[in-house]
Amino acid sequence: MPLDFTLTPEQEDIKGLAHEFAEKEIRPVAAHYDETEEFPWPVLKKAHEVGLTPVSVMPEAYGGGGLDIISNMLIAEELHWGCAGIAVAITGTGLAAAAVLAMGNEAQKRRWIGDFCNAKTPVVGAMGLTEPGTGSDAMAIATTAKKVDGGYLINGAKQFITNGGIADLHVIFANTDPTIGAAGIAGFVVEKGNKGLSMGRKEKKLGVRASHTAQVILQDCFVPTENRLGGEPGDPDAGPGALGALQMLEYSRPAGLRPAASRLRQADHQARGHRLQAGGHGDQHRCRSAAHLARRLDGTA
Ligand SMILES: Cc1cc2nc3c(=O)[nH]c(=O)nc-3n(C[C@H](O)[C@H](O)[C@H](O)COP(=O)(O)OP(=O)(O)OC[C@H]3O[C@@H](n4cnc5c(N)ncnc54)[C@H](O)[C@@H]3O)c2cc1C
């Protein structure tokens, strides 16, 4: 049976809203934020007001919009069409929210997803899994969380973290018992103002420059026991532990891939404009290649 990719009327509306937002609110300021590498706070606030931040896909039970995953991808694609860097700044919080959703117990979801769904102002999240020595091999992280009286002491460093060091809430992955390998991995919520968490080097990037990517340093960072996502092993409502990190990636990766299609759409659009100005044969060839790739990704070629 063929898969049906026809959008529902509601999904068409959401796509239209996100496209209009990208055209009116993102495109006009994209060059400014790309050049200055400033965090686009005013655009993020407007996106939050109209419901285009990751809050829109959080469950209604915790104050979110309850949208489906396809709608999430449509929003991500349209925002990235406006500017990939600003889009990452708007959607980056979704990683931390997805981690709380995948790993948190009921009380934690109510508390922190509830925070992310704050109607008045965007609450920015960051998710720290990658480390200087660990990327794709995420289960090999070296950051530790040592059990101490009333909580945990986290020590280590995180690399390439979106919103790292500027977020209101960081979800940090650390190993509570390296002797048992990946089974010891857990997620911890580190709240703003915790002196054990600091920002390291902010990356200077070739692309997505309006998004903030930085190292996060954890030095004897104390977090209370109730900030361990899913609680302690053996708790009646204990979360999935390390498996939760993979569930978080599973949930957030589709919205991270769909923007590739919009970047090709954007490249096609810009190449066409360039061809009209330049008119050379080499340019025409590059334009056709970009247009063809864009159509293939959209499923129209
Ligand atoms: C702009 C930006 C924002 C980011 N934001 C975050 C964030 O918010 N939080 C976070 O935790 N991380 C973040 N990351 C990190 C990102 O998740 C990692 O870059 C990614 O996991 C890959 O890790 P790596 O860079 O170490 O590459 P590597 O793991 O070293 O991979 C390099 C290449 O080798 C390939 N490769 C790796 N292992 C294998 C294998 N076994 N077989 C075949 N090929 C393999 C990979 O596919 C890749 O092409 C961000 C990165 C960037 C660039």
Cβ(95)–Cβ(277) below 8 Å: no
Do residues 145 and 263 both lie within one domain?
A: no
Do residues 143 and 18 both lie within one domain?
A: yes
The residue to mutate among 160, 163, 213, having the most atoms of ligand 1 within 8 angstroms of its beta carbon, is 160
CB 127 less than 6 A from any atom of ligand 1: yes
Cα dihedral across residues 62, 66, 69, 74: positive or negative: negative
Do residues 148 and 37 both lie within one domain?
A: yes
> Distance, CA 136 to ligand 1 centroid (Å)?
5
Tell me which residue has its CA closest to atom 51 in ligand 1.
160
CB 135 less than 6 A from any atom of ligand 1: yes
Confidence at residue 287, expressed as pLDDT on a 0 to 100 scale: 46
270 pLDDT tier (thresholds 50, 70, 90)? low
Tell me which residue has its CA closest to atom 49 in ligand 1.
136
Do residues 163 and 281 both lie within one domain?
A: no
What number is the average pLDDT over the span 21-41?
97
Asked whether residue 212 is domain-assigned, the answer is yes
Do residues 194 and 156 both lie within one domain?
A: yes
Do residues 280 and 244 both lie within one domain?
A: no
CATH number of residue 171's parent domain = 2.40.110.10
Instruction: Choose between 145 and 263: higher pLDDT.
Output: 145
Whether residue 26 has pLDDT greater than 60 = yes
> Distance, CA 62 to ligand 1 centroid (Å)?
31
Q: What's the structural domain count of the chain?
A: 2
Confidence at residue 191, expressed as pLDDT on a 0 to 100 scale: 97
Do residues 237 and 116 both lie within one domain?
A: yes
CB 163 less than 6 A from any atom of ligand 1: no
Do residues 212 and 264 both lie within one domain?
A: no
Produce one character per residue of 164-189: b if its CB has 16 or more CB atoms within 10 Å, e if not: bbbbbbbbbbbbbeeeeebebbbbbb
Cβ(43)–Cβ(86) below 8 Å: yes
pLDDT tens-digit map of 147-173: 999 999 999 999 999 999 999 999 999
CB 160 less than 6 A from any atom of ligand 1: yes
CB 277 less than 6 A from any atom of ligand 1: no
Asked whether residue 4 is domain-assigned, the answer is no
DSSP secondary structure, 88-127, as one string: HHHHTHHHHHHHHHHH--HHHIIIIIHHHT-SSSPPPEEE
Do residues 153 and 203 both lie within one domain?
A: yes
Do residues 160 and 290 both lie within one domain?
A: no
Confidence at residue 238, expressed as pLDDT on a 0 to 100 scale: 77
Whether residue 188 has pLDDT greater than 80 = yes
Asked whether residue 117 is domain-assigned, the answer is yes
CB 162 less than 6 A from any atom of ligand 1: yes
The residue to mutate among 83, 95, 130, 141, having the most atoms of ligand 1 within 8 angstroms of its beta carbon, is 130
Of the candidates 128, 23, 13, the one whose C-alpha atom is nearest the C-alpha of residue 80 is: 23
pLDDT tens-digit map of 193-250: 999 999 999 999 999 999 999 999 999 999 999 999 999 888 877 777 778 888 888 7
Which ligand 1 atom sits nearest the alpha carbon of residue 158?
11
Asked whether residue 3 is domain-assigned, the answer is no
Tell me which residue has its CA closest to atom 38 in ligand 1.
136
The residue to mutate among 93, 136, 139, 171, having the most atoms of ligand 1 within 8 angstroms of its beta carbon, is 136
203: DSSP letter: P
Confidence at residue 233, expressed as pLDDT on a 0 to 100 scale: 84
Q: Domain range spanning residue 273?
A: 259-298
